[in-house]
Amino acid sequence: MDLTLSQMMTKRSEIKKKINLIIDLQKNGVESSEILKVMEEVDRQIFLEESLKPKSYENIALPIDCGQTISQPLIVALMTQYLDIKKEMRILEIGTGSGYQTFILSKLARFVYTVERHKFLSIKAYNLLKELGVSNVFCKHGDGGLGWKDQAPFDRIIVTACAQDIPGRLVEQLSENGKMIVPIGDEHNDQILKKISKKEGKLIVHDLVNVRFVPLIEGKEN
Protein backbone atom coordinates (compact mmCIF):
# COMPACT_ATOMS: atom_id res chain seq x y z
CA MET A 1 0.00 0.00 0.00
CA ASP A 2 1.37 3.37 -1.04
CA LEU A 3 1.79 5.97 1.68
CA THR A 4 0.40 9.48 1.38
CA LEU A 5 2.76 12.43 1.58
CA SER A 6 1.57 13.13 5.13
CA GLN A 7 2.18 9.52 6.18
CA MET A 8 5.64 9.57 4.61
CA MET A 9 6.54 12.75 6.49
CA THR A 10 5.26 11.28 9.75
CA LYS A 11 7.29 8.12 9.16
CA ARG A 12 10.45 10.12 8.42
CA SER A 13 9.89 12.19 11.56
CA GLU A 14 9.53 9.04 13.68
CA ILE A 15 12.72 7.56 12.21
CA LYS A 16 14.61 10.78 12.94
CA LYS A 17 13.31 10.85 16.53
CA LYS A 18 14.29 7.23 17.07
CA ILE A 19 17.81 7.85 15.69
CA ASN A 20 18.17 10.86 18.00
CA LEU A 21 17.02 8.75 20.95
CA ILE A 22 19.60 6.06 20.23
CA ILE A 23 22.32 8.72 19.95
CA ASP A 24 21.15 10.15 23.29
CA LEU A 25 21.37 6.71 24.90
CA GLN A 26 24.93 6.28 23.63
CA LYS A 27 25.95 9.70 24.94
CA ASN A 28 24.58 8.81 28.37
CA GLY A 29 26.42 5.57 28.96
CA VAL A 30 24.65 2.84 27.01
CA GLU A 31 27.58 1.07 25.38
CA SER A 32 26.15 -2.37 24.54
CA SER A 33 25.53 -2.63 20.81
CA GLU A 34 23.10 -5.50 21.45
CA ILE A 35 20.97 -3.42 23.84
CA LEU A 36 21.06 -0.40 21.52
CA LYS A 37 19.89 -2.64 18.68
CA VAL A 38 16.99 -3.97 20.75
CA MET A 39 16.04 -0.48 21.92
CA GLU A 40 15.94 0.62 18.29
CA GLU A 41 13.88 -2.39 17.20
CA VAL A 42 11.25 -2.21 19.95
CA ASP A 43 8.53 0.34 19.17
CA ARG A 44 7.72 2.10 22.47
CA GLN A 45 4.52 3.47 20.91
CA ILE A 46 2.92 0.04 21.24
CA PHE A 47 2.98 0.31 25.02
CA LEU A 48 1.42 3.78 25.25
CA GLU A 49 -2.08 5.20 25.05
CA GLU A 50 -2.94 6.90 21.77
CA SER A 51 -2.61 10.43 23.18
CA LEU A 52 0.94 9.75 24.34
CA LYS A 53 2.26 8.02 21.22
CA PRO A 54 3.77 11.25 19.79
CA LYS A 55 6.02 11.37 22.89
CA SER A 56 7.15 7.76 22.58
CA TYR A 57 10.66 8.60 21.34
CA GLU A 58 11.28 11.27 23.95
CA ASN A 59 13.69 10.23 26.69
CA ILE A 60 11.17 10.74 29.48
CA ALA A 61 8.96 8.63 31.74
CA LEU A 62 5.28 8.64 30.79
CA PRO A 63 2.08 7.72 32.66
CA ILE A 64 0.23 4.44 32.17
CA ASP A 65 -2.83 2.96 33.88
CA CYS A 66 -3.19 2.40 37.64
CA GLY A 67 -1.11 5.45 38.50
CA GLN A 68 2.08 3.79 37.25
CA THR A 69 4.66 4.89 34.68
CA ILE A 70 6.63 3.57 31.75
CA SER A 71 10.27 4.34 32.52
CA GLN A 72 12.34 6.64 30.35
CA PRO A 73 14.26 4.72 27.67
CA LEU A 74 17.64 5.67 29.18
CA ILE A 75 16.79 4.05 32.53
CA VAL A 76 15.41 0.96 30.78
CA ALA A 77 18.59 0.64 28.72
CA LEU A 78 20.95 1.28 31.63
CA MET A 79 19.19 -1.16 33.97
CA THR A 80 19.28 -3.78 31.24
CA GLN A 81 22.97 -3.11 30.63
CA TYR A 82 23.79 -3.35 34.35
CA LEU A 83 22.12 -6.77 34.47
CA ASP A 84 24.73 -8.18 32.06
CA ILE A 85 22.29 -10.69 30.56
CA LYS A 86 23.39 -13.81 28.71
CA LYS A 87 21.07 -15.60 26.28
CA GLU A 88 20.70 -18.75 28.44
CA MET A 89 19.60 -16.85 31.55
CA ARG A 90 16.31 -16.80 33.46
CA ILE A 91 15.21 -13.33 34.55
CA LEU A 92 12.77 -12.27 37.26
CA GLU A 93 11.18 -8.86 36.70
CA ILE A 94 9.31 -7.18 39.54
CA GLY A 95 6.82 -4.68 38.12
CA THR A 96 5.54 -5.63 34.66
CA GLY A 97 3.84 -2.28 34.13
CA SER A 98 3.18 -1.70 30.44
CA GLY A 99 5.36 -4.66 29.40
CA TYR A 100 7.95 -2.44 27.66
CA GLN A 101 10.91 -3.49 29.81
CA THR A 102 9.59 -7.06 29.76
CA PHE A 103 9.60 -7.15 25.96
CA ILE A 104 13.18 -5.89 25.82
CA LEU A 105 14.31 -8.51 28.35
CA SER A 106 12.58 -11.23 26.32
CA LYS A 107 14.84 -10.48 23.37
CA LEU A 108 18.00 -10.90 25.45
CA ALA A 109 17.27 -13.81 27.83
CA ARG A 110 15.99 -17.37 27.59
CA PHE A 111 13.01 -16.86 29.90
CA VAL A 112 11.47 -13.87 31.68
CA TYR A 113 9.22 -14.26 34.72
CA THR A 114 7.40 -11.03 35.49
CA VAL A 115 5.24 -10.13 38.51
CA GLU A 116 2.76 -7.23 38.65
CA ARG A 117 0.62 -6.28 41.66
CA HIS A 118 -2.06 -4.55 39.53
CA LYS A 119 -4.22 -7.22 37.91
CA PHE A 120 -5.37 -4.86 35.14
CA LEU A 121 -1.78 -4.13 34.11
CA SER A 122 -0.75 -7.78 34.35
CA ILE A 123 -3.55 -8.94 32.04
CA LYS A 124 -3.05 -6.04 29.63
CA ALA A 125 0.71 -6.68 29.34
CA TYR A 126 0.18 -10.42 28.94
CA ASN A 127 -2.31 -9.93 26.10
CA LEU A 128 -0.07 -7.39 24.36
CA LEU A 129 3.02 -9.59 24.59
CA LYS A 130 0.98 -12.51 23.26
CA GLU A 131 -0.13 -10.36 20.30
CA LEU A 132 3.52 -9.53 19.64
CA GLY A 133 4.33 -13.24 19.41
CA VAL A 134 6.42 -13.40 22.59
CA SER A 135 6.64 -16.99 23.85
CA ASN A 136 9.36 -16.86 26.53
CA VAL A 137 7.62 -14.56 29.04
CA PHE A 138 5.53 -15.79 31.98
CA CYS A 139 3.26 -13.26 33.71
CA LYS A 140 1.95 -13.41 37.26
CA HIS A 141 -0.43 -11.17 39.21
CA GLY A 142 0.95 -10.99 42.73
CA ASP A 143 3.03 -9.25 45.38
CA GLY A 144 6.34 -8.36 43.76
CA GLY A 145 8.10 -8.28 47.11
CA LEU A 146 7.53 -12.03 47.37
CA GLY A 147 9.09 -12.69 43.98
CA TRP A 148 8.21 -15.99 42.30
CA LYS A 149 9.48 -18.63 44.68
CA ASP A 150 8.16 -21.62 42.70
CA GLN A 151 10.38 -20.66 39.74
CA ALA A 152 13.51 -19.65 41.70
CA PRO A 153 16.44 -19.41 41.56
CA PHE A 154 16.94 -16.71 38.94
CA ASP A 155 20.18 -15.67 37.22
CA ARG A 156 19.11 -12.03 37.22
CA ILE A 157 16.45 -9.99 39.03
CA ILE A 158 15.31 -6.51 38.00
CA VAL A 159 13.06 -4.44 40.26
CA THR A 160 11.26 -1.53 38.65
CA ALA A 161 9.91 -0.03 41.88
CA CYS A 162 11.83 1.49 44.78
CA ALA A 163 12.32 -0.37 48.06
CA GLN A 164 13.37 1.05 51.42
CA ASP A 165 15.99 -1.69 51.82
CA ILE A 166 17.38 -4.52 49.74
CA PRO A 167 14.43 -6.99 49.45
CA GLY A 168 15.49 -10.07 51.41
CA ARG A 169 12.98 -12.44 49.82
CA LEU A 170 14.24 -11.53 46.38
CA VAL A 171 17.86 -12.02 47.44
CA GLU A 172 16.91 -15.55 48.52
CA GLN A 173 15.65 -16.24 44.99
CA LEU A 174 18.87 -15.04 43.37
CA SER A 175 21.18 -17.80 42.17
CA GLU A 176 24.84 -18.08 43.09
CA ASN A 177 26.78 -15.55 40.97
CA GLY A 178 23.45 -13.88 40.22
CA LYS A 179 22.84 -10.14 40.01
CA MET A 180 19.93 -7.94 41.03
CA ILE A 181 19.27 -4.34 40.03
CA VAL A 182 16.99 -2.45 42.42
CA PRO A 183 16.27 1.20 43.29
CA ILE A 184 16.67 1.85 47.03
CA GLY A 185 15.31 4.90 48.83
CA ASP A 186 12.27 7.00 49.63
CA GLU A 187 9.54 7.42 47.03
CA HIS A 188 9.48 11.20 47.52
CA ASN A 189 13.19 11.72 46.82
CA ASP A 190 15.84 10.53 44.42
CA GLN A 191 16.70 6.87 44.94
CA ILE A 192 19.97 5.08 44.34
CA LEU A 193 20.00 2.31 41.77
CA LYS A 194 22.02 -0.52 43.28
CA LYS A 195 23.57 -3.64 41.80
CA ILE A 196 23.60 -6.59 44.19
CA SER A 197 25.83 -9.53 43.29
CA LYS A 198 25.71 -12.85 45.15
CA LYS A 199 29.04 -14.65 45.50
CA GLU A 200 29.57 -17.63 47.81
CA GLY A 201 26.40 -16.69 49.65
CA LYS A 202 27.59 -13.14 50.34
CA LEU A 203 26.26 -9.93 48.84
CA ILE A 204 28.38 -7.34 47.07
CA VAL A 205 26.58 -4.02 46.65
CA HIS A 206 27.48 -1.26 44.19
CA ASP A 207 25.78 2.13 43.89
CA LEU A 208 25.05 3.04 40.26
CA VAL A 209 22.96 6.15 39.45
CA ASN A 210 20.20 8.28 40.95
CA VAL A 211 16.70 7.38 39.76
CA ARG A 212 13.02 8.00 40.54
CA PHE A 213 10.60 5.06 40.71
CA VAL A 214 7.17 4.43 42.18
CA PRO A 215 7.32 2.48 45.49
CA LEU A 216 7.40 -1.30 45.87
CA ILE A 217 4.19 -1.92 47.84
CA GLU A 218 3.34 -5.08 49.76
CA GLY A 219 0.30 -7.05 48.66
CA LYS A 220 -1.51 -7.14 45.33
CA GLU A 221 -4.40 -5.18 43.89
CA ASN A 222 -7.37 -6.84 42.25
Domains of the chain: 58-211 (3.40.50.150)
pLDDT band for position 189 (cuts 50, 70, 90): confident
Q: Flag whether pLDDT at 39 surpasses 70.
A: yes
pLDDT band for position 76 (cuts 50, 70, 90): very high
Read off the pTM: 0.93
* Catalytic residue (choose from 71, 98, 106, 122): 71
Reported residue count of the chain is 222
* DSSP-assigned letter for residue 98: T
Rg (CA), the chain: 17
pLDDT of residue 22: 96
Cα of 97 vs its chain's centroid, Å: 8
Q: Is 71 marked active-site?
A: yes
pLDDT of residue 11: 72
Strand order in the sheet with 191-199: 137-141, 111-116, 90-94, 154-159, 174-184, 191-199, 202-211
pLDDT of residue 42: 94
pLDDT of residue 187: 83
pLDDT of residue 3: 63
